[in-house]
Amino acid sequence: MLAKIDWNNPPCEPQPVPEYSGFPLWHALLVEPNRERWSAEALMRVNVHVYLALYQISYFRCGVRRTRQKPVIPGLLFVPTEYVDIPRRDEVFKWARVHGFMRSGNGPSRVTKADVERIRVMEGKLNRPDEPCDVRGKPLEVGQEVRFLDPKDWNVFGDGIVVEVASFNRIGVETRRLFGRAITIYTPSSEIEVL
């Protein structure tokens, strides 16, 4: 008989929390889509600080209005570099269903504090009340090329292609500039314009 892994109990004791450094550098961790929240909670149980950007959506089911939270960047968690050097890291990652680090070149990519702050701003704007899905009089459709309006703040994301119109103010844009690979970011329609 094979032994079952108990997903409720962490493979090691929680580690002491390192001193706060302002977290200048972060790692992006790859996790299963739609399981980001579960993985984040599992890592927090062993004192690994995790940032998961979420926004709330509302929908109707059986005539009842319901709400749920979705990730701003699906499949990614952000962890300060100080928290990644833990004992038995591979076992903890396997237990928390983390597939590994997002890589660039020959090592894990690092995300700066400024990039994390941009994602926090995006998260805040996504959680505002709905706005019309209309950018400067042009309706948005899947497949359209768009760019972010404020170049000094959002130019890091570059141009992108609309891949999903989730609701009136939550537009899924695929961009290649943020981490050097195709990443879907959800943004309010007020932050982008059609090219």
Same domain, 63 and 104: yes
| pLDDT confidence of residue 18 | 62
Tens digit of each residue's pLDDT (9 = 90 or more) over 74-98: 999 999 988 888 888 889 899 999 9
Domain assignment present for residue 184? The answer is yes
Domain assignment present for residue 9? The answer is no
Split into its structural domains, the chain has a count of: 2
Give the CATH number of the domain where residue 93 resides.
3.30.70.940
Same domain, 91 and 178: no
- Give the DSSP per-residue string, 148-168: ES-HHHHTTT--EEEEEEEET
For residue 188, pLDDT over 70 is answered with yes
Same domain, 110 and 149: no
- Give the DSSP per-residue string, 118-134: HHHHHHHHHTSPP--SE
| pLDDT confidence of residue 190 | 76
Domain assignment present for residue 66? The answer is yes
Query: Which domain range does residue 95 map to?
Result: 23-127
Same domain, 116 and 158: no
Could you tell me what percent of the chain has a pLDDT over 70? 76
Q: Provide the whole-model pTM.
A: 0.64
Mean pLDDT over 121-139 rounds to 67
Question: Which of 47-51, 80-84, 105-109, 110-114 has the least mean pLDDT?
Answer: 105-109
Give the C-alpha separation, 40 to 31, whole Å: 9
Nearest-10 Cα torsion for 147, 141, 180, 91: 130
Which residue matches tokens 């709400």?
A: 67
pLDDT band for position 15 (cuts 50, 70, 90): low
Same domain, 106 and 27: yes
Domain assignment present for residue 1? The answer is no
| pLDDT confidence of residue 126 | 80
Domain assignment present for residue 8? The answer is no
Same domain, 148 and 61: no
Same domain, 139 and 117: no
Same domain, 95 and 62: yes
Mark which of 103, 127, 151 sits at the end of a domain.
Answer: 127
Mean pLDDT over 36-49 rounds to 90
Q: Tokens for 145?
A: 């090329």
| pLDDT confidence of residue 37 | 92
Higher pLDDT: 187 or 157? It is 187
Same domain, 71 and 33: yes
Same domain, 37 and 102: yes
Our measurement of the distance from residue 98's CA atom to the centroid of its chain's CA atoms, rounded to an integer in Å, reads: 14
Mark which of 80, 100, 127 sits at the end of a domain.
Answer: 127
Mark which of 106, 127, 148 sits at the end of a domain.
Answer: 127
Give the C-alpha separation, 129 to 169, whole Å: 8
For residue 27, pLDDT over 50 is answered with yes
Same domain, 91 and 150: no
For residue 3, pLDDT over 60 is answered with no
Tens digit of each residue's pLDDT (9 = 90 or more) over 165-186: 876 667 888 887 766 678 888 8
Same domain, 90 and 50: yes
| pLDDT confidence of residue 30 | 93
| pLDDT confidence of residue 1 | 40
